[in-house]
Amino acid sequence: MARYIQSLLSQLLTVPRGEVQLEYIRSPRRRKATYMKRKKGLLKKIYELSTLCDVHACAVVYHSDYDAKPEVWPSLEKANPVIERYRSLPEIYRQRTTMDQEAYLTDRILKGEERLKKIKVENWETEMEDLIYEALERPEPSLQGITDPTAQGDVLFMAEKILKRINADRPVVDFSSYYQQQPYLYSHDPRDEATRVVMSAGVARTSPPPPNADGLPNPPWYMQQMVNPSESLQVAPAYPQYPRQPEYPPYWETRRH
């Protein structure tokens, strides 16, 4: 029996405590016990914060029904410099970090409204998804009864969102490797050959010709081409001809051998 009771107590102690509802405690006895317990925990947390992080902190806790005088941590002499330093800060900094009971409740209300709005959006999306999936499972179309333009737009928006999610989860197959052609094999780089041809043509046209036997400058190259066509400048073609790849016999001819 004792072992059974001990096992029950161990189970009760190991059960995690649920979330505490932040509301006013009606029972005076429970309210006082909670106050004393939470006050000790608050002072302990401030001590740990000042010790671990080396910060200047103090706390003043007072309740007219449970305390004869305000309880100050660490002491009144050490708390006064911290309070005076805080009061010497500009008002804009104090308002940014100060929160009273009204500001705390307002902040919680705003956070609750944001959470409620998010839950409403999630519920709406779930409802639209169920409606679309139900319409797909039925043999006859069940969305023809929706005549409201807003509802039709909601269904269309959700259907497009589902399609985008399906396309994002679908694996992408790359077929580019199957259609790549084998590169042509050259004995040299074609770009070097093209550069050589262009540079040689440019140098032949822009470099000044040497003087003739009379000491007079030769006429331009285009005049020489008109006088002596056989000695005209030979310019390589713009696109040099490279050896073609060998042509392989058809498949049926290789089978004969």
Average pLDDT on 29-41 reads: 92
The residue behind tokens 């005549």 is 147
Q: Kindly report the CATH number assigned to the domain that includes residue 75.
A: 3.40.1810.10
Which residues span the domain enclosing 127?
101-168
- CA distances (Å), origin 33, targets 29, 37, 64, 88, 202: 6, 6, 15, 37, 100
Is 48 contained in some domain? Answer: yes
Residues forming a β-bridge with 72: 60
CB atoms within 10 A of CB 128: 19
> Could you tell me how many helices (H) and strands (E) the chain has, helices first?
9, 2
The pTM score is: 0.41
214 pLDDT more than 90: no
Q: Nearest-5° angle of CA 150, CA 153, CA 155?
A: 110
Is 154 contained in some domain? Answer: yes
Same structural domain, 90 and 120? no
Is 41 contained in some domain? Answer: yes
The helix (H) or strand (E) run that includes residue 168 is helix 149-169
Average pLDDT on 71-79 reads: 91
Same structural domain, 110 and 89? no
Q: What is the pLDDT of residues 79-136, one digit of tens each?
A: 999 999 988 988 888 878 788 878 888 888 999 999 999 999 899 888 888 888 877 7
- CA distances (Å), origin 234, targets 205, 217, 221: 11, 22, 12
Same structural domain, 93 and 141? no
Q: Which of 150 and 84 is assigned the larger pLDDT?
A: 84
Q: Identify the domain boundary among 97, 114, 145.
A: 97
Same structural domain, 89 and 130? no
Average pLDDT on 143-168 reads: 78
Task: Give the long-range contacts of residues 43-51, CB within 8 A, separation 24 or more.
Answer: 43/71, 43/73, 46/73, 47/73, 47/74
Count how many domains the chain has: 2
Q: Identify the domain boundary among 97, 131, 160.
A: 97
CB atoms within 10 A of CB 36: 13
* Alpha-carbon gap, residue 201 to 20, rounded angstroms: 90
